[in-house]
Structure 1
Amino acid sequence: MLGMLKKYTVELCPEVNGRISSNGTPIENLLIERSLTYAGEEYSDDCLTNANGEFRFEKKSIKSRLPGNICHEPIVRQVIEFTLTNHKEETYIWATNQHDISCPEVCKLHLSNLVSDISNEEQVYELANIEAPAYPLIVRALCVLN
């Protein structure tokens, strides 16, 4: 019973550092949007790329009692995207679902250095999740992830 009263820290997203270019040329003033969803609540923010095509988002965490409920399945949806003026659809720089209230190390590693080129094709990756092997991260990304 006491577990349901406790507030847990839910890591929605670690700090994000990225760079976006077109055929190697940095894209300046591109609006990058981040959308994070947990338990039906959406948290969003955005930023513009600088002259070097770089962008950054602060780490985002919330407090919640939901992880104390044994019926609750903690899933965090992370999306970082942009829309080019001549396109109607968003392009995912990064999109995944994390199945825990803590961000996996592999996620932190990749989000600390997202390097994307809009001339690349979007790819789907399956990243090993050392902390929870039963839940690999399936990531749609414009960047090349190793």
Structure 2
Amino acid sequence: MRISNVWRKPLPLLAAALSFLVFIVFSQQVNADMFSWFKKYDVHLSPAVHGRVLLNGQPLTGAVVSRELNYDKEYVDKTTTDANGYFSFVEKNIRSSKPGSLEELRTRQVVVVHHQQKPYLLWYLTTSSIEPQQAVVQRLAALNCELSDEEKEHVFPNIEKPEFPHSTFSICRWAD
């Protein structure tokens, strides 16, 4: 009878120790999740942009081109076309805590050229990706734009997620 009493006393102690261990493990996970909104993430807003603007086949010189990027706030860059109608913008990345939140944000990319006080849409795209997307990188590396072309929707494959094709609006054209 004495032997069986010896084994009964450690069981509540063992159960308490195991419960404490489980509590510690789960509370660490809760802390990590609870404070993840403090963590900063790399967010890719836009790849480098290279393009050329023509008007009736001739280079459009000195036209203002603007790039507006929206994620958690608006980022605006401006440049002008050179003597041959070319323009470019550098790649744009930021650090943000927004990807750690429950809120789903989308990146909006808009590139517009202004000619005779009229805007012409060279690129409009929204995406939920915070990583570079190959098909977008390829198209923004070669914007071939003719102001006399109609603005239209272009649907093209999403290499990273084929089930979700990209869709952009633009007066520019690509050899597909």
TM norm structure 1: 0.91
Please, which moves more after superposition, 130-139 or 12-21? Answer: 130-139
Q: CA deviation at 1:120?
A: 0.8
**1:53 aligns to what?**
85
C-alpha contact (below 8 Å) 1:13/1:59 kept by paired residues: yes
Structure whose CA Rg is larger: 2
Alignment of 1:31 with 2:64, yes or no, is yes
Alignment of 1:65 with 2:97, yes or no, is yes
C-alpha contact (below 8 Å) 1:34/1:79 kept by paired residues: yes
Whichever residue aligns with residue 103 of structure 1, its letter is: P
**2:168 aligns to what?**
139
Percent identity over the alignment?
Answer: 32
Alignment of 1:93 with 2:122, yes or no, is yes
The 3-state SS of whatever aligns with 1:67 is helix
Moved over 6 A (4+): none
Unaligned runs of 5+ residues in structure 1 are: none
Instruction: Quote the Cα distance in structure 2 between the aligned partners of 1:118 and 1:49.
Output: 13
Name whichever structure is richer in strand by fraction. 1
Instruction: Quote the Cα distance in structure 2 between the aligned partners of 1:31 and 1:76.
Output: 23
Name whichever structure is richer in helix by fraction. 2
Whichever residue aligns with residue 62 of structure 1, its letter is: I
Q: How many residues align?
A: 142
**1:129 aligns to what?**
158
- Post-superposition CA distance 1:100-121 (Å, at most 9, x none): 1012110000001111011111
Unaligned runs of 5+ residues in structure 2 are: 1-32
